[in-house]
């Protein structure tokens, strides 16, 4: 298994803890958490030019697998294949794996990583800039009170936050998600500054290596 990046998490005198990441987030290879008991030392030989650190190298003495991710229930490459591609392969005498729709829906956050679904949601996000749905079937965030109403004989709510949908989008490999729109929260307060209706900026950001990434975005 080939990995293109080693992401240090903690750096002690004689201990390293890092993740081995697959070459692409859509790859079927899983990240592996690893302990290394040898310290980093000055490099005695020139390192490849694509390395970000060229003066220091880790001389590995022992490796311990701390937490190996479970095998994914579906392969992203298999889920990304179209019916046309599968039929052409059958005509050529080659059998490709077909991932059924129910399997994709049962593993939605993985299915969202396919190019077709990525394209669907990116186009939909452009439409959502003008049309932000705020009348939904249930509570969108468990930590806030909600305005409830009757909608044609069924319960409905005014949206409090896109939190759950943002988290699913992050798990679906969209990287950064944000929404600017009205927020409704039926909360009591003893101050005159508390608002039950306001325009909120909701942000969800994927942290790949270090929390400094968040600081760079904010500041």
Average of per-residue pLDDT across 12-29? 50
Q: Determine how β-strand 176-184 pairs with β-strand 63-68.
A: unpaired
* Most confident of the following: 53-57, 70-74, 102-106: 102-106
Confidence of residue 52 (pLDDT cuts 50, 70, 90): low
Tokens of residue 168, six digits: 């699913």
CA-to-CA dists, residue 59 to 22, 38, 210, angstroms: 21, 6, 23
Residue 40 confidence (pLDDT) above 70: no
Is the pLDDT score of 2 beyond 60? no
| Distance in angstroms (rounded) separating the CA atoms of residues 63 and 25 | 24
Largest CA distance in the chain: 75
Per-chain mean pLDDT for the chain: 75
pLDDT 10s digits, 149-202:
898 998 898 888 877 778 888 888 888 888 887 888 888 877 777 788 888 888
What pLDDT was estimated at residue 21?
A: 54
Statement: the pTM of the whole predicted model exceeds 0.85: no
pLDDT of 103: 92
Q: Which of 79, 66, 85, 91 is nearest to 117 (CA)?
A: 79
Long-range contacts of the stretch 59-65 (C-beta < 8 A, 24+): 60/36, 61/36, 61/37, 62/36, 62/37, 62/38, 63/34, 63/35, 63/36, 64/34, 64/35, 64/37, 65/32, 65/33, 65/34
């Amino acid at each position: 298994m080939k990995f293109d990046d080693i992401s240090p998490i903690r750096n002690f005198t004689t201990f390293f803890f890092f993740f081995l990441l697959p070459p692409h987030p859509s790859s079927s290879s899983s990240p592996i958490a690893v302990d290394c008991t040898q310290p980093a030392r000055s490099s005695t030989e020139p390192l490849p030019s694509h390395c970000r650190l060229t003066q220091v190298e880790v001389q590995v003495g022992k490796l311990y697998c701390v937490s190996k991710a479970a095998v994914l229930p579906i392969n992203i490459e298999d889920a990304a294949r179209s019916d046309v591609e599968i039929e052409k392969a059958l005509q050529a005498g080659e059998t490709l794996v077909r991932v059924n729709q129910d399997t994709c829906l049962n593993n939605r956050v993985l299915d969202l990583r396919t190019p077709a679904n990525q394209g669907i949601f990116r186009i939909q996000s452009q439409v959502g800039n003008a049309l932000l749905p705020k009348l939904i079937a249930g509570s969108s965030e468990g930590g806030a009170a909600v305005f409830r109403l009757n909608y044609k004989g069924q319960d409905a709510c005014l949206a409090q936050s896109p939190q759950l949908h943002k988290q699913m989008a992050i798990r679906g490999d969209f990287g950064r998600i944000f929404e600017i729109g009205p927020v409704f929260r039926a909360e009591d307060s003893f101050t005159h500054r508390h608002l039950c209706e306001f325009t909120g900026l909701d942000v969800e950001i994927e942290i790949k290596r270090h929390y400094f990434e968040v600081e760079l975005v904010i500041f």
